[in-house]
Amino acid sequence: VELDPHTLAPTAVYKLMIGSVVPRPIAWVSSIDAAGVRNLAPFSYFMAIGHEPPSIAFSVGPRGGDTGGGMGKKDTLANVEAMREFVVNVVDDDTAERMNVTSGDYGSEVDEFAVARLTPAPSVKVKVPRVAEAPVNLECRLNQVVVIGKHNLVIGEIVQFHIRDDVYDARTGRLDMHKLRPIGRLAGNLYSHIHQIVEMKRPSDTYIG
Ligand SMILES: Cc1cc2nc3c(=O)[nH]c(=O)nc-3n(C[C@H](O)[C@H](O)[C@H](O)COP(=O)(O)O)c2cc1C
């Protein structure tokens, strides 16, 4: 089937996007407002940009979805713009259901750490707390917000990594993919567990002409 996004309703385009770009990692973003009220929400429009400087990006859509024009900004975006820092927490099998709880449309006065019974742990370089139960936390400072139509691409620089000891292999400097057990988001309410991992060696790094 051939589909031209310009002829489709935004919701239809959304369905094609989130079904095509799969599985997506989830940035479980903690932030605070100027009064220190905590916020936590998942974003799967999420990617690693590069490591020099170590940079990530996630994208925040309009509050209330495609029909929610005029409802204001999502709390995460408002907090990140005001405080210029946030933490990306990695979602694993154990925290998946609590991540889902934090995606509810709660008012800005609501602390999703409390709602989902998660433990806020102090960060090292930013004031924003991290999720103690997450196996990895990336403390970030805001680089910039790029407006793409109704979406705001939040670009952040990682200023501190927290890796839980059991998922870090000090010998190789790598995270143990068998122990991390991250989840991926598919389309709709579907997710993937990463329990079947395969190895594929790359061709020689020398130029193949
Ligand atoms: C797995 C998952 C991924 C999500 N990804 C996004 C996303 O990439 N962008 C977005 O704007 N909302 C996304 N949402 C919805 C937000 O989490 C939701 O709107 C949340 O209430 C925003 O919270 P806030 O107002 O506290 O920032 C996602 C929800 C779930 C469950």
Tell which residue, 53, 83, 77, 80, has the closest CA to residue 160.
53
Average pLDDT over residues 48-69: 90
Cβ pair 124, 18 in contact under 8 A: no
Question: Residue 148: its pLDDT value, please?
Answer: 98
Distance (Å) from CA 43 to ligand 1 centroid: 5
3-state secondary structure (DSSP) of residue 99: helix
Read off φ and ψ for residue 156, nearest 5 degrees. -130, 150
Question: Residue 71: its pLDDT value, please?
Answer: 75
Give the ligand 1 atom nearest the CA of 58. Answer: 8
Q: How many C-alpha atoms does 187 have within 13 Å on its Cβ side?
A: 11
Distance (Å) from CA 200 to ligand 1 centroid: 33
Question: Residue 51: its pLDDT value, please?
Answer: 98
Q: Which residues pair with 137 in a beta bridge?
A: 89, 162
What is the CB < 6 Å shell around ligand 1? 26, 39, 41-45, 59-61, 74-76, 100, 103, 105, 185
Question: Residue 53: its pLDDT value, please?
Answer: 98
Q: Which residues pair with 131 in a beta bridge?
A: 120
Residue 126 DSSP label? S
3-state secondary structure (DSSP) of residue 200: coil
CB atoms within 10 A of CB 121: 16
Distance (Å) from CA 188 to ligand 1 centroid: 12
> Is the pLDDT reported for residue 68 higher than 80?
no
Distance (Å) from CA 203 to ligand 1 centroid: 39
Distance (Å) from CA 158 to ligand 1 centroid: 21
Tell which residue, 28, 1, 23, has the closest CA to residue 134.
28
Cβ pair 103, 96 in contact under 8 A: no
Non-local CB neighbours of 196 within 8 Å, separated by 6+ positions: none
Query: Which range has the worst mean pLDDT, 61-65, 83-87, 148-152?
Result: 61-65
- Residue of 74, 81, 109 to test ligand 1 pocket, by largest number of atoms within 8 Å of CB: 74
Tokens coding 60: 């925040």
Cα 26 to Cα 20: distance, rounded to the nearest angstrom: 16
Question: Residue 67: its pLDDT value, please?
Answer: 67
Question: Residue 69: its pLDDT value, please?
Answer: 60
As a whole number, the mean pLDDT across the chain is 96
